[in-house]
Amino acid sequence: MTVAIGIVGCAGRMGRMVIQEILATEGCVVAGGTEAPGGPIVSDLGSLVGTDPLGVTVGDDPLALFSCSDAVIDFTVPAATRVHAEAAEKTGTAYVVGTTGLTPEDQAVIASAAHKAPVVQAPNFSVGVNLLFALTKQVAEKLGTDYDIEVLEMHHRHKVDAPSGTALGIGQAAAAGRDVSLDDVARFAREGQTGPREIGEIGFATLRGGGVIGDHTVMFSNEAERLELTHKASSRGIFAGGAVRAAAWLQGKDPGLYGMSDVLGLD
Ligand code: NAD
């Protein structure tokens, strides 16, 4: 069976990687792509990735794209992702969401779509990072609150949200390991007279610069030792590969909100 995959935000950094990944994946074809109205003017998706024309033009109508696709992959911006989730809900088309920086309201629109369409959402589609989530939970479970947990991330200068969705995912995994809610223990910033660190808090630090694709470290420190788990991405291809794998995995699945641990069989 051939899976026809649509790409919203197809001219973006991730959108282009997804086109390349689909072209390199047997059993998958490009169904089409959209960009923001008034966005880059490109006639054919092939020209976005330097290949021969694919005979597929870039549009700006998400509903039309969802209607002609077996799955749609979304790496865009939160406002656009809300519109795309509504299109998934209307059409029932399998939907893969990678956009980060979503508000609880955006998240509610995706949850609603998942009642009508099978959806995979992940803050990070790489196999390595999903293993890091699992390891973080396991270590947090084993080490008590005597160990302070800090999550450090660095990304390229163009990234618009902080901390990264992946850093939040690591924080959620650590909180789950301790059987607490991240909302209750997260410390997102420190400046000035902060006072001593509170027992049990999970701290975040964000660095931005250059072309770094994505580095994440979680540290567990007590007075005597420090355990660090680190992941460094060196190609956006790892995210695109995971997203295309998720799009294929969703075929024939019931509506619902799935994660990469389901796709990778990690649970
Ligand atoms: P980018 O700015 O290069 O690309 C975003 C694209 O979306 C742009 O081309 C933009 O024109 C387009 N867009 C905006 N509004 C649109 C609309 N209404 N309809 C269609 N297209 C629209 O950004 P990027 O680096 O590709 O990242 C995109 C998102 O993906 C970010 O939130 C980023 O954090 C996230 N991301 C997630 C993962 C993951 O594994 N989950 C990996 C990398 C990036």
Give the closest residue (by CA) to ligand 1 atom 17. 36
Within this chain, do residues 43 and 112 fall inside the same structural domain, yes or no? yes
**Domain CATH code at residue 229:** 3.30.360.10
- Cβ(38)–Cβ(58) below 8 Å: no
Q: How many domains does the chain have?
A: 2
Atom number, ligand 1, closest to the C-alpha of residue 124: 40
What is the pLDDT, as a whole number, of residue 43?
A: 76
Within this chain, do residues 98 and 187 fall inside the same structural domain, yes or no? no
What is the pLDDT, as a whole number, of residue 148?
A: 98
Within this chain, do residues 121 and 149 fall inside the same structural domain, yes or no? no
Query: Would you state the structure tokens that stand for residue 19, as one six-digit string?
Result: 């086109």
- Cα 139 to ligand 1 centre (Å): 32
pLDDT at 49 over 80: yes
The predicted model scores a pTM of 0.91
Range of the domain at 116: 3-125+236-264
State the catalytic residues.
155, 159
- Cα 99 to ligand 1 centre (Å): 6
Share of the chain above pLDDT 90, in %: 93
**Domain CATH code at residue 113:** 3.40.50.720
Mean pLDDT, residues 41-57: 87
Within this chain, do residues 140 and 67 fall inside the same structural domain, yes or no? no
pLDDT at 241 over 90: yes
Within this chain, do residues 24 and 113 fall inside the same structural domain, yes or no? yes
Within this chain, do residues 74 and 47 fall inside the same structural domain, yes or no? yes
Within this chain, do residues 44 and 133 fall inside the same structural domain, yes or no? no
- Cα 33 to ligand 1 centre (Å): 13
Atom number, ligand 1, closest to the C-alpha of residue 10: 9
CB within 6 Å of ligand 1 — which residues?
A: 8-9, 11-15, 34-36, 39, 75-77, 80, 98-101, 122-125, 239
Within this chain, do residues 97 and 174 fall inside the same structural domain, yes or no? no
Within this chain, do residues 120 and 179 fall inside the same structural domain, yes or no? no
Within this chain, do residues 82 and 151 fall inside the same structural domain, yes or no? no
- Cα 58 to ligand 1 centre (Å): 16
What is the average pLDDT score of the chain?
Answer: 96
Nearest to 172 by CA among 132, 118, 223: 132
